[in-house]
Structures are given as structure tokens and as C-alpha cells.
Structure 1
């Protein structure tokens, strides 16, 4: 019997990570409203958002393994979302300069009535950045569609001094843990 894997995300980074795992999968973008519920902890919030994404697609595909994911950047327990303007991106990066912050990625896998949700926390430390360095990075456009206003897999790697945890979780999908959780649900990746 053929297994079907669906990524409920339009993120090119998540798609690339699954492709690198040599998996056959479909992308079905979830259009859930990603409203932040301030009553939830950051850990519960990333799992809740990943569940909403996965469940919105799983309803139409009960035979498939559906993966939903959400990534969030936290500085002093405050969520840094995607910047709306270049000035907003500059402010976020200025706040992160020379400091440590957390990246949380929540993942939910749904297969029929089976549901698994988890999150990975990774600690990142930035180099101290000059205003000129920040503006040069902002002007590349890379920060504009990324939580916390940087992409570690691109030019943003220049900003990062140290990573403690799962690098792939920062990019958007903790693939090693994901594969183990899929296997527990009966997915065969060989």
C-alpha cells in the first residue's frame, strides 16, 4: 500500500528540508489564520499553530501523513514575528545583536485519528552587529519573510556566533525528530 506524505506549508525551506531527506511528498498549503493566542506559552503556541495547519489539511486527506509546522523566534520571552517594514527588521536585528535568543519550532503529524505534536528549542547567539551591518543585511531583502528578521541558511548565517540545538529546527523543520515520530506512526521511509 502506497504511503502519502503531505507538507501543510508553503515554506520553501521546509520543502527543501524534506526533499533533502529523499522523501516523496505533496505540498498542500494551509491557509489558517495564524493569530497569536497570548494566553498560551510559546511552547504551546507553536504546537497549537502547527496543529491548526496540519488538521486543516488532514480533514480532506485522512489516508495521508500530514505535517504542519510553525517556527517562532523569542527574545526575553517575547515573540519576534516577521517584519512588516525594513525599519521593523532593523529594530528586531538591533535587539538580537550580541545577545542570545530562542527559536522554537512546533510540529504536528496527523495520520487519520493519530496525532503527534512536539517542539524543538534551539538557542542562538548573535555577534554584536553595527548599524551598518544590520542595514546592509536588511537591504538584501532576506529578512522580510522570516521570523526574527533573519534566515540562518542564507546571508543571515553571517550574524550567528553560536547555535546550541537542532540547526534544522531553526530553518523550519527538525527533520531527525520528525522522521522518528513518523516512523512511530508506521511511516516507512525506505
Structure 2
């Protein structure tokens, strides 16, 4: 029996997704600097963040399988991370209103001395949002800790006109890619 995987994230959404697929895990959040490098594109950034989160926890839990992920919202090549405050969240939602954007989630799994990675890229089209809709959404507090200032699994779900890709990847952990990495490492799901 494989010892429980360590999830290098304090995200309740990632934990819920792992529970959904029956993975035994424990949580040990990674504390890293999440500032994008000057010359880094979005794909490089999410891959680096997922890897750094995994390796930070590997240092604390050696000889354990460690799973980490990083999600970013990208519009016009710009990485939209978590908002600094409500005004910043409002600016991001106005930028996404009536437009298409990408959500990239990189997954990193360190197991048996090997680092494996996967990347999920999802196209999301938002409806045109009114100021009242944005204000009402911001009042829920859901935008406060989410990349791009929205959570598709919450009240912002009705902003989405079309999605092409992985819904769970937009939530924060693409289940297909995660399960494939776990299987490749010989870690079964219950």
C-alpha cells in the first residue's frame, strides 16, 4: 500500500478534487515566492511554480510522493494572478468581461526520485459583465484568493459562456492529467 501522497497546497478546491477521485493524501502547504520572472511566459511560469511548490515540500517530507499545482489566468499574454485587493479584482474582471482567456494549470508530481509534470490549457469565454454583476460578485468574497479574480465553481460560474478544455483544470487541478501522472508513478487511486 502506498503511503498517502502529500498535497503541496492549502487550496480547499484542490483537496476536494483529489477527494473526488479517491486519492489518499495529506496537506502540507508550500511557502514560496510566486513572482513571475521578467522574461517568463505563462506556461514557463505555471510549470516553474508547480515544480517549486513540489520541491519545497519534498525538502520537508523526503521519501514521500508530493503533488503540487499552479493555476494562472492569461489574457493578452498577461498573467493574472490573485488580486491584491478588491479594486485590483474589479480591474481583472473588467478585463475578462466579454472576452476569451486561457486558464493554465501545471501539475508536478515528485515520486521515487523523479519529477513528472503535466499542463492543462483551457479556453474560457466570459459574457459581458455589468458593473452591478462585478460588484455583486466581489461582495461574495470569492474573488479574493483566486487567480484572475474568479472561481468557476462558485457564483462566477454563470459568467462563463463557453469552455474548451478541462473544467477541473480551471478549478485548480486537472483531474485527467493528475490521474495520468499518479498512474505513471505507480500510485493507484482507491
What's the TM-score once normalised by structure 2's chain length?
Answer: 0.96
- Counterpart CA distance in 2 for 1:4 and 1:139 is 38
| Deviation string, structure 1 residues 37-62 (Cα, Å, up to 9, x no partner) | 12122111101000000001112333
- Counterpart CA distance in 1 for 2:30 and 2:49 is 11
- Counterpart CA distance in 1 for 2:38 and 2:163 is 27
Which residue does 1:136 correspond to in 2?
136
Which residue does 1:44 correspond to in 2?
44
Which residue does 1:126 correspond to in 2?
126
Specify every segment of 5 or more residues in structure 2 that has no aligned partner in the other structure, as ranges: none
What's the TM-score once normalised by structure 1's chain length?
Answer: 0.96
- Counterpart CA distance in 1 for 2:50 and 2:185 is 17
Which residue does 2:27 correspond to in 1?
27
Specify every segment of 5 or more residues in structure 1 that has no aligned partner in the other structure, as ranges: none
Which residue does 2:93 correspond to in 1?
93
Instruction: Number of aligned residue pairs: give it.
Output: 190
Query: Do residues 152 (structure 1) and 162 (structure 2) align?
Result: no
Q: Could you tell me how far 1:3 is from its partner in structure 2?
A: 2.8
Q: Secondary structure at the match of 2:40?
A: coil
Which residue does 1:182 correspond to in 2?
182
- Counterpart CA distance in 1 for 2:71 and 2:26 is 20
Which residue does 2:9 correspond to in 1?
9
Q: Could you tell me how far 1:4 is from its partner in structure 2?
A: 2.6
Q: Secondary structure at the match of 1:83?
A: coil
